[in-house]
Amino acid sequence: MITLGLTGSIGMGKSTTAQMFADLGVPVWDADAAVHRIYSVGGTAVGPVSDVYPMAITNGAVDRGKLKDMMADREGVLEKIQEIVHPLVAADRQAFLDDHKDADFVLLDIPLLFETGAEKWIDVTICVSAPADVQENRVLSRKGMTKQAFDMILSHQMPDADKRAKADHVIETLELEATRDAVAKLMTDLKATHG
């Protein structure tokens, strides 16, 4: 099995691109979706988060909005949450890999791939990218997103230029069809190289 790590800053088209790999039959694991699962009612993070920040729980689930507010207001909350969440997300990812061990390729959609050092154990890294003005327009068009929130998110992410420089492959996400063609070509090349 060849592991493909897909990354890119907020608003760069990562989810859309991940779906294009899925459309080609590549199993996709999404780190953000994993966090949603472990934060949901019955999720593995609810108990541990409740133990340290009971006020972050609403109706038996971790309330991401309350967590965000706490992270903005209090020092150390982000680090504490990461201590809890990272091992649980890693376990979710391992379960996915175990379920797909017969696949030729799997795609791991990890926003903070380079920030967390995940490139060390991933076979091929792929960065999605678009110009900064396109990125900002995409993000600010999202419901409830503010320039301040966007800037805060960016401050926690490696700059796009650095991600591009570190990645094995870069996929531009300006136009859907061009992106789809780039994904198809990359998979053809990878199958030729790793097949």
What does the angle CA 17 – CA 106 – CA 184 come to, to the nearest 5 degrees? 45
Q: Which residue is associated with the tokens 């198809």?
A: 184
Beta bridge partners of 170: 127
Residue in 135, 40, 30, 181 with CA at minimum distance from that of residue 92: 30
Which of the 8 DSSP states describes residue 175? S
Which residue(s) pair with 62 in the sheet? Answer: 57
**In angstroms, what CA-CA distances link 53 with 7, 31, 106?**
30, 22, 35
Q: Does the domain formed by 2-187 have CATH 3.40.50.300?
A: yes
Tell me if 39 sits within 8 A of 61, measured CB to CB: yes
**pLDDT recorded at residue 167:** 96
Q: How far apart are CA 89 and CA 137, in angstroms?
A: 30
Note whether 5 and 122 are within 8 A (CB). Answer: yes
How far are the Cα atoms of 4, 30, 101, 191 from residue 1, in angstroms, in the given order? 10, 17, 6, 11
Quote the crossing angle between the two packed helices 77-99 and 31-39, to the nearest 10°.
110
The answer to whether the beta carbons of residues 122 and 113 sit under 8 Å apart is yes
Domain boundaries, the chain: 2-187
pLDDT in tens, 22-77: 999 999 999 989 999 999 999 999 999 999 999 999 999 999 888 888 887 888 88
Q: CA 97 to CA 110: how far, in whole Å?
A: 14
The dihedral through the CA atoms of 76, 80, 86, 89 has a sign that is negative
For a pLDDT cut of 70, what percent of the chain falls above it?
99
Strand bridging mode 169-172 / 124-129: parallel
Q: Give all strands (DSSP E) within 40-155, no chain letters.
A: 57-58, 61-62, 105-109, 124-129
Structure confidence by residue, pLDDT tens digits, 65-118: 888 888 878 888 888 888 999 899 999 999 999 999 999 999 999 988 998 899
Would you state the pLDDT for residue 195? 65
